[in-house]
Amino acid sequence: MYPDVEYFDLQSGNYHPLKDITERSGYEEDECASGEIDVTSEPNRKHFKEQLKQIQIPYFMEDDFSTSVSNGSIVSMDTLYLGVAGTGIPPYVEESCTSFMAAQFSGVTAWSFSRPIVEHDKLSWSKPMRLFLQPGEIVFWFPSMRYHREVADGCSLSLRFRFQMPAPKTFLEDVKTDLSSLHSENGRDNTSPLSFITKCSIVEENGRWVLR
């Protein structure tokens, strides 16, 4: 559909135009691709800027936010993931003041999520919540949550979005309260890698809570 889109191929460890995905060294016919397309990168942004306007806004986002959604200030496409069984993302925390949702189009992915907790005056993580995401399903997670994604079955295709509304007000307030109980030792910030969360704020706009 977009032959000039820049694609990062995990098998070769290189970037390729999407049109050359079957030309890489070692490719076998009917083989699943494994990699990602950064929708927000400069080479790719122009190919996807009109696509978001064609996506139906989720029911929990008010109709009067449609203009903000279409220009990407409330919801934006982020990364398109392709994968084969056993590939994915190791446990990771996004340093971002946005929430995320991932939509599964084909294949099955296994996810786990943990929230930050404080134990013995140190940053730790809750017991992971695990789930399998089937085609047609969507999963959500909030700022500061650690996640792990791995393809469990089939040729996986999924698309990740960032969104600012509705904001997880209670969740974020609880996380900030927990982290505020930690103290610096010898100049070292005990909240790392979550020090960014102190810069995240939730503001009220037209009676609704929005992440900023």
CATH code of the domain containing 174: 2.60.120.10
pLDDT band at 9 (very low <50, low <70, confident <90, very high): confident
Query: What global pTM score does this model have?
Result: 0.79
In a domain, 81, yes or no: yes
In a domain, 139, yes or no: yes
CA distance 143 to 205: 19
CA distance 187 to 140: 35
Count of domains forming the chain: 1
Question: Per residue, what are the HEC states of 144-177?
Answer: CCEEEEEEEEEEEEEEEEEECCCCCHHHHHHHHH
In a domain, 1, yes or no: no
In a domain, 95, yes or no: yes
For position 183, what pLDDT does the model report? 56
Q: Read off the pLDDT of each residue in 95-105 and give the average, rounded to a whole number.
A: 90
Give the max Cα distance, the chain: 57
Domain hosting residue 11, numbered range: 6-211
Do residues 210 and 167 touch, judged by C-beta distance below 8 A? yes
Q: What is the pLDDT of residues 19-71, one digit of tens each?
A: 777 676 666 665 677 888 888 787 787 777 666 566 666 666 554 444 444 44
Is residue 211 helix, strand or coil?
A: strand
